[in-house]
Amino acid sequence: MRDLSLGFAAGVMLSASFFSLIIPALDAAGGRYEDGMIPAAIVSVAILVGIGAVALLNEVLPHEHFESGPEGPASISLRRVWLFVLAITIHNFPEGLAVGVGFGSEGLSGGVPLVIGIGLQNMPEGLAVAVALMGEGYRRYQAWGIAAVTGLVECIGGLLGAGITTLSSLLLPWGLAFAAGAMLYVISHEIIPETHRNGHQKKATAGLSIGLVVMLFLDVWLG
């Protein structure tokens, strides 16, 4: 069940990376710089910076993989699941920023659709965080609390976006693409290898496929 659920989380994150983050980042950059090389360059660089940032955290923070054991400095025991939680948190901040920009620039007409869409896509993400934590021995109320905190960071992003709409519109493509890169690193380096170590790769792949199409359906339906 853990590998199936983490596969589902990977699918949600993979779909969200492209449909909720990279494509909107290209659109946001294109709206400011028009079509051409600059929007693609901004998003490409931001993705690589996001990948590099989480790769650096992977090297400097002591952590523990579900199956392969500890990595990084051995002075503190930090479970690998926290890199997953961190990636979700990084993902949520620019989403909150986008909601704030929507309300700040266009009022209810611009903000409400974003609230509904992002709120719905946060449900499988929160479930994935809680399931992953429970699979590592956390109690239900602890898993729920941590999952809720990863979502509450969107409130901070929303307030920031609404308060400095002009500045946030400039930073938005960078933040969206950075979050996408961070998630892509976690998907490739952390989640998929871990879900394939126990011979459950068929279930993990099924979970990934379901998570990907669920997230795709929500994004297109609420687009």
pLDDT at 105 over 50: yes
- Domain holding 113, by residue range, is 2-222
What's the structural domain count of the chain?
1
pTM flag (> 0.85)? no
- The CA distance from 190 to 146, in Å, is 20
In this prediction, residue 32 has a pLDDT band, given cuts at 50, 70 and 90, of confident
Q: What is the pLDDT of residues 165-220, one digit of tens each?
A: 666 677 778 887 888 888 788 888 877 887 888 888 899 899 899 989 988 887 77
CB 143 within 8 A of CB 130: yes
- The CA distance from 20 to 117, in Å, is 10
What pLDDT is recorded for position 121? Answer: 62
What pLDDT is recorded for position 75? Answer: 43
